Amino acid sequence: MTKFRHWREGVQSADKKPQVYRDPDDGKTKTRMVPVDKDIVKTNEVKRPGAPKITGDSIAIQRAKDAEHNKAMGRTKTGRKAPVRTMTSTQKAMALMRKKGM
């Protein structure tokens, strides 16, 4: 296939694009389909850049912001509410009995 590369470069593809032109007879604007050269098709096939990649620095910065926010809100490292130690009714009753000396 590499032998025919020079032969294929000037070949027009089957792709067509619309071209607007003015008809010389009546002066009206008309549209016709014009074949696209293969070279033009190649330039359109350039890979578009994707979304920007997240780098390690931005991740570290975001983690620092999250940690600061969690600390200000009184949360744990993972962002959960800090556990509050509360006594059940049975535990309260037992503590009162210990205080009274029963």
- 18 within domain boundaries: yes
Short-list 20, 88, 32, 68, CA closest to 96: 88
| Structural domain boundaries enclosing 13 | 2-44
Q: Please state the domain count of the chain.
A: 1
* Residue 21: strand, helix, or coil: strand
pTM value > 0.75: no
Inside any domain, residue 83: no
For the record, the structure tokens of 68 come out as: 């600061």
Whether the CB-CB separation of 30 and 22 falls below 8 Å is answered with: yes
What pLDDT tens digit does each residue of the chain (102 aa) get? 455 555 555 565 678 889 999 999 999 999 999 887 766 445 555 667 777 776 778 888 888 999 899 888 888 878 888 778 888 999 999 999 998 876
